[in-house]
A and B are shown apart, each in its own frame.
Chain A
Amino acid sequence: MFVLDPATGLDALVRALVDDGYRVVGPLVRDGVIVYDDVRSGDDLPKGVTVEQSAGRWRLTIDDRPTRFSWTPGADSWKRFVFPAHQEVLRVRHVDGSFATTRPPSPDRPLALLGARDCETRALGVLDRVLIDPDHPDPRYAERRADTFVVAVTCGQPSATCWCTSMGGGPRPREGFDILLTEVTTGVHRLIAEPGSERGSALLARVGIAPATDEDHADVEAVADAATSSMPARLPGADIPTLLAGMHHPHWDEVAARCLSCANCTMVCPTCFCSTLSDTAALGADHAAGAETVRVQEWASCFQLDHSNLAGHPVRATTMSRYRQWLTHKLQTWPEQFGTLGCVGCGRCTTWCPAGIDLVEEAAVLIGAGAQGGTP
């Protein structure tokens, strides 16, 4: 482990990644929220930012503290960098009485994701299982993920809508990163950096200013422990699938009465992977030679009425059936499909729900035993 200066060390890290040819994506304060986008230097990253979250509410405060990672994520997630919301899959042209396809060019640079939390590295792991299945790996996703460099961050100040500890996670990431940063504000303000891979180790050797001491190690543990104790487990994690109520529970109707079926929860979810393919014909395209169509893949949502269309009619025509589909998929059927729960406990669906529907509260009712532990 190494110690980095929160200003110069972070800047050195960003610049080293840029020098190594990465497209570095990190947190930026823009339009009053945290978004993820291209960063060129350490100065681009937030400073003194804290975030207050509750069901249906997300507020950002900036003060004069020098902290770099005191915020929690906004609606944006890393999903859109490895699995874009709108991407061209291929182009098809009529050629010699048949057709020929061309794929769009590969990304020119590999991604470096800077600032991923434990929920977010686990969300990438969930997407990997879905989209890089052994039978039909998604070549576009696999290509983007193959060289992605992940700089993860320990969550020092979780929000009230965080429930990673209910989902087998915690504030300190255990895997899925090349470098893990933990920001320590007790004593000298510093970042403790630990490698999670050989390339992470090599990079740290170039930018670290001093090896970490026993005291640094202890401080990292203390940051994680304090964050963990601020968010007691509220759901029984891996046991949820067997405990969740059946399809006929009256509470499904109760939630549906509040749900707007707006699809916000699925759009902000870092693991929701539903998509739709559409073919856009170039204007005037017909069977004439040279006509071209573009196949595009876009995010879709199980809350959309046409998502379940069968012969022109939706199978899930009511909000109740769509909410039930979403929650049972996240918490019950996902493990059978992909060997992992679909929820990582990041809290986005709850924070960004315009009706303030709290997944944990609804799941607790549907589990029947009530929430375990207190509500923060």
Chain B
Amino acid sequence: MGTLADLRSIPVDPLEPIPYRVVELVQETVDVITVVAAPVGQALPPAQPGQFMLVWAFGVGEIPISVSRMAADGRVMLTVRAVGQVSGAIVGLQVGEVVGLRGPFGTVWPVAEVLGADVVVVAGGLGLAPLRMAIDALVQPDPRRITVVVGSREPAQRLYPGDLTGWAEQGASVHETVDTADREWHGGVGTATTMVERLHHPHQAAFVCGPELMMMSAVRALAQQGVPTDRTWVSLERNMHCGIGHCGRCQLGALLLCRDGAVVRWDHVEELMEVRGR
């Protein structure tokens, strides 16, 4: 068993969080904040677009959060909505406090693979966070080929409005819609799928992230418009608990989503997504 003996001492423990200090907190909406965290000592490898980290709040627990942006000197931006105990603790952090990070984990939006094509990016709610770096990477070289569709519940829940304006100013086609409008709202009203159905420009590839039902309807609408299912990627979520494919909790069919996802090609999961309780 020579190969086993070689593993007698493994220096890196994938279950061990690395300390990061909160250096800035950005209030995005009433219950969503972006935590900007800098490594206290050694930094983790930089996250690629679509990857997530396991974020650990001391004494509370650990949850998966997608990295919305990487900044200079290894700073990580994590956008969190307070929904449970751990996310509540993260949202309640103060500047100067320390969190533990593990990762980055998971697959990456295949930006290089779709560059040069007309790409539509569809985001629902917080689903814009894991797409943010991908949109940055798509818009920067060739903005006129990029369409961004963003659906929010209401105008006050819009995420990264400054980014949306910036991408539009660079030349991308940005379409916003809300489920419920108010007097000041001049964008679209309805679901992201409704907005996708109104797109007349033919796209050759799509990145989609949002609530599961929203993604399923958006992908169907995209397919109707001729976006091939093998050029459509979605970001799926399951109970990503260990991040390394060892705990078995994030399985979707043969996929261990923390390892084989979150970003998956739609034709690889299409059949499974139609099954309840899979």
| A residues adjacent to B (C-beta < 8 A) | 89-90, 92, 94, 97-99, 101, 103, 128, 130-133, 135-139, 142-143, 145-148, 197, 247-248, 273-279, 281, 285-287, 291, 293, 295, 297, 300, 302, 307-312, 315-318, 320-321, 324-325, 328-329, 332-333, 336-337
Contacts and interface: CB of A to CB of B under 8 A. Distances in A.
29 contacts: A89-B16, A90-B15, A94-B58, A99-B100, A101-B17, A133-B244, A136-B14, A136-B246, A138-B14, A142-B4, A143-B9, A146-B6, A148-B4, A247-B272, A275-B246, A275-B248, A276-B249, A277-B62, A279-B60, A285-B58, A302-B251, A307-B239, A308-B239, A308-B249, A324-B277, A328-B253, A332-B254, A333-B253, A337-B256
Given A136-B245, A333-B254, A310 B237 contact: yes
Given A247-B278, A275-B242, A277-B241, A146 B4 contact: yes
B182 interface: no
A295 B248 contact: no
Contacts of A103: 13, 16
Given A142-B8, A321-B277, A300 B17 contact: no
B112 interface: no
B40 interface: yes
A332 B245 CA distance: 17
A277 B15 contact: yes
Contacts of A312: 83-84
Given A279-B60, A281-B59, A337-B254, A98 B98 contact: yes
B9 A315 contact: no
A302 to B, nearest CB: 7
A300 B256 contact: no
B19 A98 contact: yes
Given A276-B241, A287-B97, 14 more contacts: A92-B100, A98-B21, A99-B19, A99-B100, A136-B14, A145-B7, A146-B5, A146-B6, A248-B275, A276-B247, A277-B15, A315-B277, A329-B251, A337-B256
A300 B249 contact: yes
Given A90-B13, A308-B239, A325-B251, A273 B246 contact: yes
Contacts of A142: 4, 7-8, 10
Contacts of A143: 7-10
For this complex, into which size category does the number of interface residues on chain B fall?
35 or more
Of the candidates A137, A274, A278, A279, the one having the most CB atoms from chain B within 10 angstroms of its own CB is A279
A316 B248 CA distance: 14
Given A99-B19, A132-B7, A336-B254, A309 B248 contact: no
Contacts of A302: 248, 251
Nearest to B238: A310
Contacts of A130: 246
* Interface secondary structure of B, over-half rule: loop
Contact of B84 (A311, A316, A317, A336): A311
Interface of B: 1, 4-10, 12-17, 19, 21, 40-41, 56, 58-62, 83-84, 96-98, 100, 237-239, 241-242, 244-249, 251, 253-254, 256, 259, 272, 275-278
A128 B4 contact: yes
Contacts of A278: 61
B255 to A, nearest CB: 8
Given A89-B15, A99-B100, A197-B1, A146 B244 contact: no
A321 B276 contact: yes
Contacts of A332: 254
A312 B84 CA distance: 8
A275 B246 CA distance: 8
Nearest to A273: B248
A97 B4 contact: no
Contacts of A329: 248, 251
A136 B278 CA distance: 26
Nearest to B272: A247
Contacts of B9: 139, 143
Contacts of A311: 83-84
A200 B62 CA distance: 44
Given A92-B100, A139-B13, A287-B97, A274 B247 contact: yes
B58 A92 contact: yes
A147 B247 contact: no
Nearest to A96: B40
Contacts of B41: 98
A146 B8 CA distance: 5
B275 A247 contact: yes
Contacts of B19: 98-99
A138 B246 contact: yes
B273 to A, nearest CB: 11
B150 to A, nearest CB: 21
B1 A321 contact: no
Contacts of A248: 275
A101 B16 contact: yes
A91 to B, nearest CB: 11
Contacts of B247: 274-277, 300
Contacts of B254: 332-333, 336-337
Nearest to A252: B277
B267 to A, nearest CB: 16
A285 to B, nearest CB: 5
Contact of A317 (B14, B96, B246, B277): B277
A309 B245 contact: no
Q: Which 9 A-B pairs have the closest CB atoms?
A: A321-B277, A274-B248, A142-B7, A136-B244, A333-B254, A336-B254, A139-B10, A281-B59, A146-B8
B124 to A, nearest CB: 14
